[in-house]
Amino acid sequence: MNPVMPRISWARGLQSLHRASSSTSRKTAAAAAARHISTTPARSSSKNTEWVRSKLWKDGDAPGAADPYTQRPDDVPEDSAVTRLPQHPALEGSDPADRRPLAVRRSRLPFPANRNEAATPKEVGATDPAYEPATSLDDLADLGTLREWWDQPGHWSAELDGFAAFASPARVTDRAAIEVYYRRALVEVLALRETGALGEWATRRWAEGSRDDLDAALAVDVVVRDGEAGTVLKGNVAAVADSLKQTPDEAAAVETPRPERISSEEAAELVKAWDPSWKRIAVDDETKFALRKRLYQLTGNLVPDAKLGAARTVGHLIVLTAKRPKAKRLAEILQRTEELQQLANVTLHDRRVSSIDKEVAVGRWKLIEEELVKRDLPVTGLADVSRNREQERLLGRI
């Protein structure tokens, strides 16, 4: 037999216990030594504090507590929390138990209430003597779902309910109508410039006006001199300038509906009657800014800043604004192609033509539908039969 020492499992446990106890004792001793070295006696600390306070304040008693770390000032009670930080004005008077985010508490919107347990009829009857419990489902009030919360009246704040957008909600896409509104905007800008009010009213909100204001602006004749900005307006220029000026109080007090849109046929006739020389009028930065802002208010079309800088005349602005939007689908592009629309043997569809569409085109679908109903067969689709019938059979679900 080999002289091998027997393995004792509990011996290792004793060794680890001994090491742990020795390391713990060393840590305790080190902590006690550090505490003994860093700690200053209370008496010497108080004497040093009194000596420093007497040197700093020689005239009269020093303000505050003698030991600010362990004592409170005389004018502050013991049970009150001392803080010198200013309170935020949005948090004044707020409930400290309110754990909602700060943005939600500052918001003017009435957010939905938190989910709580409904009170019992006995508890409601104690607070409301006129309460009568519902006896049927029809007597219960329909509160709606959370998804329908913002669609209900009163769930927007009063300021947001009366919000009026600056741009026109209906975008004008007809080129002739855009030229008419550009002509009106040009007359209004030149009228403000002649009266000396363009610098003051360039960044303000102009009155949108009515159809009479549109006709008054279009009645002013624009005489172009060599294609420069030095044009002459012939007509009631002062009335056009005054129709644009309105204070914010007047705009809030008078709620005028959106003016009547000009039709495409009428706009085309007006454009043909005008001399096209007005499109060659050069525009500077101030005029371009005023024209773009006014057209955005009237038609809802906004010229991007990157393209606005390249425009030099009114005609350039019309081209940038009246550009037709890109088609999102191939069917839209084909429907705009006049050559295809003139072909008698070509028909354009915006979706796939199914077999039912073909039967409807020749007039046989009504007869097919009647025969399917007589035989108790599904008219379209597979009725209650699942499409993946074979897959469900392989998975053992049938």
Is the Cβ–Cβ distance between 187 and 314 less than 8 Å? Answer: no
- Give pLDDT, residue 241: 87
Structure tokens at 33: 């030594």
Structure tokens at 12: 């290792």
| In the chain, domain spans | 175-322, 326-397
- Give pLDDT, residue 36: 45
Structure tokens at 359: 């039967």
Q: Where are the alpha helices (DSSP H) in the chain?
A: 9-38, 42-56, 102-106, 121-127, 158-161, 175-194, 198-201, 211-218, 237-244, 248-253, 264-273, 285-299, 305-308, 314-321, 330-336, 338-341, 355-362, 365-374, 389-394
- Give pLDDT, residue 317: 92
Residues lower than pLDDT 70 in the chain: 1-46, 59-60, 62-96, 115, 157-163, 226-230, 247-259, 325, 327, 382-387, 398
- d(Cα 152, Cα 95) in Å, to the nearest integer? 28
- Give pLDDT, residue 74: 57
- Give pLDDT, residue 204: 85
Structure tokens at 45: 């600390």
- Give pLDDT, residue 35: 46
- Give pLDDT, residue 33: 47
- Give pLDDT, residue 368: 93
C-alpha torsion sign, points 119, 123, 127, 133: positive
Q: Where are the alpha helices (DSSP H) in 219-329?
A: 237-244, 248-253, 264-273, 285-299, 305-308, 314-321
- Give pLDDT, residue 292: 92
